[in-house]
Amino acid sequence: MAADSAITTCFRHPQVESHVRCTRCDRYICPSCMREASVGHQCVECVKEGARSIRQARTAFGGRISTVPLVSYVLIGLNVLAYLAELARPSVEDRFAMLGTVPPGYLPQGVAHGEWYRLLTGAFLHLTPGEGTFGLTHILFNMLALWNIGRVVEAQLGRVRYLALYLLSALGGSVLVLLLAPTTFTVGASGAIFGLGTAYWVMGRRLGHDMRAVNQYMAGLLLWLVISAWATSWQAHLGGLLAGGVVTLAYAYAPRDGRRTPVQAGVCVAVLALLLALTWMKVTSLTA
């Protein structure tokens, strides 16, 4: 009886005899619960607790470090799927493109008539072959830019901040189209791409990078903004550039302490609120 009372068992598996203690909590653990530690073994719970206490690595702008640009891949995939849907059913473009309103005498449609979703869905559509000046090259150029710049920006910002930047830039482009050219039928991810380009430039300056290549890219972006005054929707490009610039300035220059994330999130919410307020004011004037 005395020998039986001296038997020790694993605290997680009482039916398994054990003579090894966790070096952290000093409880008995069986072989299946043992995890190698710098000294001796630890139990599963102590290993998990230790992992939670380790501070996660962050980028220079507060985002979580990730080696796979998952958001960029998903955005490219969504744009491609939307393009295939346009090819299969041309009515998709008419139904979801950015459109503020139509002239009097036509069937009411557009953002001014309750179709607010067009502010974002239009940013995932592109011109189809034989349509407009660019056709197929429209989506090719935009996706190439998203592939080249998006991956860099996502790696610097982290996935959540990057996605917020992309969507707010796209929304900013659509809102400026609504304000300045409400009857213009607009499609394309260019507004979001301009926002990413501005972010690339702002982050380069903040991190002290060699600005020659960055400035060359920004000069090309601004040149395309001028050319787009005759070729495409310059309003969407400028709106994306401005919205993306404001958001990235908040990302780059927010205080590097516990206030950084709240400040960055607060600016994103403020930009969203401003864009929605401008949309509501314009819609009200168009339907008055």
> Does residue 53 have a pLDDT over 80?
no
Tokens 């997680």, residue located: 12
Query: What's this model's pTM, rounded to 2 decimal places?
Result: 0.79
pLDDT of residue 38: 72
Mean pLDDT of 146-151: 90
Which one is predicted more confidently, 205 or 196? 196
Which of left, alpha, beta for 35 (phi over 0: left; psi -120 to 50: alpha)?
beta
70-287 CATH choice from 2.30.30.90, 3.30.70.520, 1.10.760.10, 1.20.1540.10: 1.20.1540.10
What's the pLDDT at 2? 45
pLDDT score recorded for residue 132: 58
Rounded mean pLDDT, 112-127: 94
Spatial contact of 247 and 165, defined as CB atoms under 8 Å apart: yes
d(CA 86, CA 94): 9
The chain-wide mean pLDDT, for the chain, equals 87
Give me 179's structure tokens. Answer: 């304000």
Where are the domains positioned within the chain? 7-53, 70-287
pLDDT at 179 over 80: yes
On the CB side of 138, CA atoms within 13 Å amount to 27
Q: Which amino acid is at 152?
A: V
Residue 105 backbone class (left: φ over 0; alpha: ψ -120 to 50; beta: rest): left
Torsion on CA atoms 186, 192, 193, 195, rounded to nearest 10: 130
Amino acid of residue 23: T
Which tens digits make up the pLDDT trace of 72-116?
A: 999 999 999 999 999 999 899 999 999 999 877 678 899 999 999
pLDDT at residue 151, as a whole number: 92
Q: Of the candidates 82, 79, 78, 119, which has an alpha carbon nearest to the alpha carbon of residue 98?
A: 119
Q: Are 200 and 152 in contact (CB under 8 A)?
A: yes
CA neighbours closer than 13 Å in the CB half-sphere of residue 95: 7
Percent of the chain with pLDDT over 70: 90
